[in-house]
Amino acid sequence: MVLRWLRDRRRRALSASTFPPAWGAILRRFVRQYEWLDDAERDRLHAFVTIWLDEKRFEGCRGMEITDEVRVSIAAQAGIVALGLEGECFDHLKSVLVYPDDYVGEKTVPIAGGGELVTKEERLGETWAGGSIVFSWPRVVEGGRMRDGPRSVVVHECAHAFDLLDGDIDGVPPIGSSGRRRSWVASFEACHQRFLDALDAGRSVPLDDYASEGLSEFFAVASEAFFQSPHRLARFDEELYDRLAEAWRQDPRRRVPRS
């Protein structure tokens, strides 16, 4: 209780501090959605960024230099995702690892007989239950500047981090009461099935095919489209958009232009 009180007092002081003009310039260069926020949202975003840069440890991998551009750009994109989650700073995340490009990681696949097949795969980012989140810097820039359609590695990994808050990365973020959770899950699973049916039928979909990997990836990929291309997502499946708006507690359609 005392530690939480001290943390909250420190965060209030950080939130009240002056946001450096140089950081604002970084946001205008690297985070396109920043220009669409109203004054209240910008204030909340500034507070989030200031707290993240104070509390999270940023580490460069494979020679990556961690500059203010890197730190502020990542923190701001995470902050936009968390705008509707009052007081949520993803406390379980302790470190942010950044690569200068896409990187290779190990993938473990169970095989018949109880064994495992370990392969190598190229990655853009990942979220570790142990408290780290990993990004490829060029993909961070693409997502922040909205140059890759609905894709955003920061939104994707923050969706996994949000999903993890209730203990598991299972595609079901913290929703509320058990009754509300059951209703949300049933609706979300129906949305997932409609997406799979559309994919199988060869119809145009606003989500990357990776969303077919399971509910956890469906939630992360759909969250990318929710923030990056909300109007197209809502046209594709209004129910899916509504479930995500309920989970993230915000409505990006209100601020993101249609074009």
pLDDT digits (tens, 9 = 90+) for 26-66: 999 999 999 999 999 999 999 999 999 999 999 999 999 99
Q: What's the mean pLDDT when you consider all of the chain?
A: 94
Inside any domain, residue 157: no
Pairing of strands 95-99, 57-60: parallel
* Higher pLDDT, residue 169 or 4: 169
Task: Return the percentage of the chain with pLDDT > 90, whole number.
Answer: 83
Inside any domain, residue 105: yes
Inside any domain, residue 160: no
Say what the pLDDT of residue 6 is.
86
**Range with lowest mean pLDDT among 37-41, 49-53, 117-121, 196-200:** 117-121
3-state secondary structure of 118: strand
Inside any domain, residue 165: no
pTM of the complete model beyond 0.85: yes
Query: Are 60 and 136 contained in the same domain?
Result: yes
Closest residue by Cα to residue 19 from 88, 72, 58: 72
**HSE-up of residue 52 (Cα within 13 Å, Cβ side):** 28
> How would residue 198 be classed by pLDDT, with cut points 50, 70 and 90?
very high
Query: Are 26 and 101 contained in the same domain?
Result: yes
Q: Could you tell me if 186 and 169 are in contact, meaning their C-beta atoms sit under 8 angstroms apart?
A: no
Inside any domain, residue 100: yes
Count up the domains in the chain and report the number.
2
Residues spanned by the domain of 210: 170-259
Long-range CB contacts for residues 172-181, cutoff 8 Å, separation at least 24 = 172/215, 172/219, 173/219, 173/247, 175/246, 175/247
Q: Of 145, 162, 197, at which residue does a domain stop?
A: 145
Say what the pLDDT of residue 65 is.
98
